[in-house]
Amino acid sequence: MKKVIVFQDVFIRLQGKEVLKSINWTVTDGQNWTILGLNGAGKSTLVKSIFDYIPIRSGCKSCIYRTHEIGYVAFDLEKKIHSSPPFLNIANDLQFKKLPRQPISSLSSGEMKKLLIARALAKKPKLLILDEPFEGLDESARVKLTHEITKLLKKTQLILITHRFDEIPKEISRILVLHKGKVFAKGFRESVLNQKKVKKIFSHEESIGKNIVVHKTSKKKIPDTLIQMKNVTVRYGKKIVLNKVNWMMKRGDNWAIVGPNGVGKTTLLKLITGDNLQAYGQDIKIFGMQKGSGESMWEIKKYISEVSGDLQLRYQKNISALEVTISGFFDSIGVYRQTSKDQINIAKKCMKNLGLEKLADRNFMHLSQGQLRMVIIARAMVKSPLLLILDEPTHGLDVKNRKKVFELVDWIGKNTHTHILYVTHHKNEMPICVEKILYL
């Protein structure tokens, strides 16, 4: 069989840290692989090095495919999409509807993922690399993408990165497991996934409880009604995104917002935070204050923390993970004012709650996608807000970190004055504290 990708004793170093160590891996013609591993194991770094996005430090690497013959889908490519024209007319075999003529910034995470997949497939690649392609997609879109991947495997080689074992198409027969930057296991699917050592690294023990530290920094009296919307409508041209929505979130409530891609979940969240200007001039009250009655966006935001992919993408500066966490106190993208010792200590404790203390001094932009999301979650926790908005918070997280986030959110929802607003496309991944659902 012809060898199409070969790694021989490859080492890769980023920011002075050895990310991949002594990698030996060969892909032959016709083989399709899934790469598994915990957040920070080096999965994305490995695939990016295939087409020279990341240079190797030592060893030997070869790939018979040229860059233009490789299709690539990954979350961090959204940065490039945001700099594109506001409308991209792309059609493909997935039969995703063409996006309406609206600002790129108004697209949901699912619509953005569909756009990335469409761009990759438009190249008709010989090798397709999908890094967490199912994240952000609703159930229908996930089924459709799985079907399309099955068809693609007849004519295109595939390398898939995922953290969810149930998302691995049955047609992919080979598994590569990375752990702490090394090849931990590789071979046929059944053999690898049944190894005790492989099962062990993905197992999780409850860790949230007596060691958690949450600081009550908000002094605002909690009103009877946190959010109230009456006949709220949002439209872009002829397209109506939200149509006469009526909804109320009362003190003590924890809500989930669910529904297919593009129905307005992210839009509704941006109405609350004030990031969508169509919030003004409508009958919306936040913490008892009428939108547009004189309050500034920052007066509202100091009682709100949020986790979203959009927020994560806005950090593109040379900044440490600890500084990103601290910036949650100021609702800023970076730290531009004097930070107190108490704030630094609270930020460190929030990172410790999520097992991130070893990442505190690391450059935020050099972390894995899962590590980036965990730091953004720590950022949201620092000021113990009245309202914690979690928009697909487990996007890109491995099974251990997903369970850790569920435990932490559930603990906060039950034991603090913080109210939870949770958006997800996975019905079986809902914190227990969330008892009410808004279906759009």
Per residue in 292-346, pLDDT tens? 776 666 778 888 999 988 888 888 778 999 999 999 999 888 888 889 999 999 9
* Domain match, 101 and 229 both: no
Helix (H, G, I), strand (E, B) or coil at 141: helix
Query: Is 208 part of any domain?
Result: no
Query: Structure pTM?
Result: 0.83
CA–CA–CA angle 255, 261, 262 (5° rounding): 100
* Domain match, 252 and 181 both: no
Cross-strand pairs, 234 = 242
Contact 351, 360 (CB under 8 A): yes
Contact 94, 73 (CB under 8 A): no
Identify the pLDDT of residue 336: 87
Which whole-number Å values give the CA distances from 48 to 28, 114, 125, 236, 416, in the listed order? 18, 21, 16, 36, 42
* Domain match, 192 and 232 both: no
Query: Is 409 part of any domain?
Result: yes
For residue 217 the two structure tokens come to 């920094």
Helix (H, G, I), strand (E, B) or coil at 85: coil
Rounded to an integer, what distance in angstroms lies between the CA atom of residue 99 and that of residue 420?
A: 31
For residue 262 the two structure tokens come to 């593009």
* Domain match, 308 and 163 both: no
Burial degree of 12 (CB within 10 A; 0-12, 13-18, 19+): buried
Rounded to an integer, what distance in angstroms lies between the CA atom of residue 139 and that of residue 20?
A: 34
- pLDDT less than 70: residues of the chain: 78-110, 204-220, 294-297
* Domain match, 154 and 235 both: no
Helix (H, G, I), strand (E, B) or coil at 126: coil
* Domain match, 84 and 19 both: yes
Neighbours of 206 (CB within 10 A): 8
* Domain match, 259 and 160 both: no
Total structural domains within the chain: 2
Residue ending a domain, choose from 201, 217, 249: 201
Query: Is 308 part of any domain?
Result: yes
Q: Quote the domain boundaries for residue 257.
A: 225-439
Query: Is 219 part of any domain?
Result: no
* Domain match, 161 and 280 both: no
Query: Is 281 part of any domain?
Result: yes
Provide the CATH number for the domain around residue 188.
Answer: 3.40.50.300
* Domain match, 297 and 410 both: yes
Query: Is 366 part of any domain?
Result: yes
* Domain match, 372 and 334 both: yes
* Domain match, 167 and 231 both: no
Identify the pLDDT of residue 115: 78
Query: Is 209 part of any domain?
Result: no
Query: Is 335 part of any domain?
Result: yes
CA–CA–CA angle 52, 68, 187 (5° rounding): 60
Tokens 């959110």 sit on residue: 409
Contact 142, 275 (CB under 8 A): no
Identify the pLDDT of residue 88: 42
* Domain match, 165 and 123 both: yes
Identify the pLDDT of residue 38: 94
Which whole-number Å values give the CA distances from 106 to 89, 216, 270, in the listed order? 16, 33, 9
